[in-house]
Amino acid sequence: MTDNKQAALELGQKPVGQLLWQYALPAIVAMTASSLYNIIDRAMIGQIVGPEAIAGLGITFPFMNLSAAFGAAVGVGSSASISVKLGQKDYGVAQNLLGNTVTLNLIIGFSFMVLSLLFLDPILRFFGASDATLPYAREFMIVILLGNVVTHMYFGSNAVLRAAGKPRHAMYATLFTVGMNILLVIAFVWWFRWGIRGAALATVTSQTMALCWQIWIFSDKKELLHLKKGIYKLKANLVRNIIAIGISPFLMNATSCVIVIFMNNQFVRYGGDMAVGAYSIANSVVMMFFMFVMGVCQGMQPIVGYNYGAEKFDRMFRCLFIAIGCATGILMVGWALSMLFPREIARIFTSDATLIDLSARGIKLDMLVFFVVGSQAVITHFFQSIGKVKVSIFLSLSRQLFLLLPMAYVFPLLWDLDGVWYSMPASDFGSFAMTIPMLIWYMKKLKVYDGQPCNH
């Protein structure tokens, strides 16, 4: 117990740069591994099962985003709350937050499963499934939904591990899940020829195995946070706190679901199926680099939350600015590569000449102001980590709902297909322009001058 308390206390004592590296690196490694798995998974399904299967899998992405939205509401909300309570050395409430996290994941995961299975076909049709792709999408989602409780528990437990000062354990869980997933996909899809259902079964099985290991960790009474009797009964004030913080990532994921559906329809309308393919490729390039930024954000969260709870605001802001610098540097590399080698990047995904042309132009337009996105993401996660819910929600929704959606509707009326592409960098810059004043306002509110913050 003493060692675990010391690990938590280090969040308020170790040099901030060293801490951020310690916490962000495992998250970056885990997210990179997840990206690699997604590429291998799609390639296996496309090569072995066929193009209709890969199209059916694409239909399920908004569904998966929606499920992730509910999972993020609990996982992010609870981990941020736990970080703050550990900073305040309120270990009893942190323990109860762990128990309430388990209960909420069980309730929400089961409810989402039941409702989704009852209305599965109409939902998939709404997301764009055709007669050809519906059977594949349905086959995949039935297995995924049956394992939905496991998925929620797995991601929620990983978030709590990071908050409890165990970022490497969270990384090990993710790496194990990814590695086992790849092995099982090869076995189920290639060897046993179970098709797209095999890919779904591989996902659920690997997450179940990782969850068993996480439960084993949290069952150890020597851990600062551990599973025990009396912590699972929902407490209204704790639930409100978890949901209040978690509503921001929930809305962000839910909005992403809406945006993907809308953008696909716009690209089909103004450029046809090939334009949708180009958007998919450009989006893959964006996410490849953005995963690194998300790793930085995840690494920052427990450090910021702890030091906010401990009222060590100088360390809190130092962590924020280092994270902004790291994220901006990462995306500058992505921006430079995309501006210099868009055609070479497109060729990684396709050999079709027309699609390469469309994708190369799309990559350059989509990532035109990519270097400003990192600071916007980090600052949004900063407000989320310290429980500033309204600000976090506004910043989360600013790019997609308030800017991208109307721009993606209006711009094509003026510039046709290019207008759809223009809407993305325009919304990126607009969101960045809203985020910086918010941060300056909050720093002034805390009376931060020359890096010397004062107490509330």
Q: Provide the percentage of residues in the chain whose pLDDT is more than 90.
A: 13
pLDDT reported for residue 36: 65
**CB-based contact 163:245 (threshold 8 Å):** no
Per-position b or e across 9-42, b if 16+ CB within 10 A of its CB? bebbeeebeebbebbbbbbbbbbbbebebeeebb
pLDDT tier, 420 (very low <50, low <70, confident <90, very high otherwise): very high
Beta strands (DSSP E) in 202-272 are none
**CB-based contact 318:451 (threshold 8 Å):** yes
Q: What is the pLDDT of residues 93-131, one digit of tens each?
A: 888 888 888 888 889 889 999 999 999 999 887 776 667
For range 214-224, the mean pLDDT: 82
pLDDT tier, 35 (very low <50, low <70, confident <90, very high otherwise): low
pLDDT reported for residue 10: 63
Whole-number Å distance between alpha carbons of 449 and 443: 8
- ∠ at Cα 248 (82, 437), nearest 5°? 105
- Phi, psi (5° rounding) for residue 63? -65, -45
pLDDT reported for residue 450: 42
For range 447-454, the mean pLDDT: 48
**CB-based contact 374:384 (threshold 8 Å):** no
Give the type of residue at 121.
D
Whole-number Å distance between alpha carbons of 38 and 53: 15
pLDDT reported for residue 195: 80
For range 329-352, the mean pLDDT: 84
pLDDT reported for residue 82: 82
**CB-based contact 198:192 (threshold 8 Å):** yes
CA distances from 437 to 304, 431, 440, 442 (A): 20, 11, 5, 9
pLDDT reported for residue 455: 45
For range 211-233, the mean pLDDT: 83
CB neighbours of residue 449 within 10 Å: 10
For the chain, how many residues are written? 456
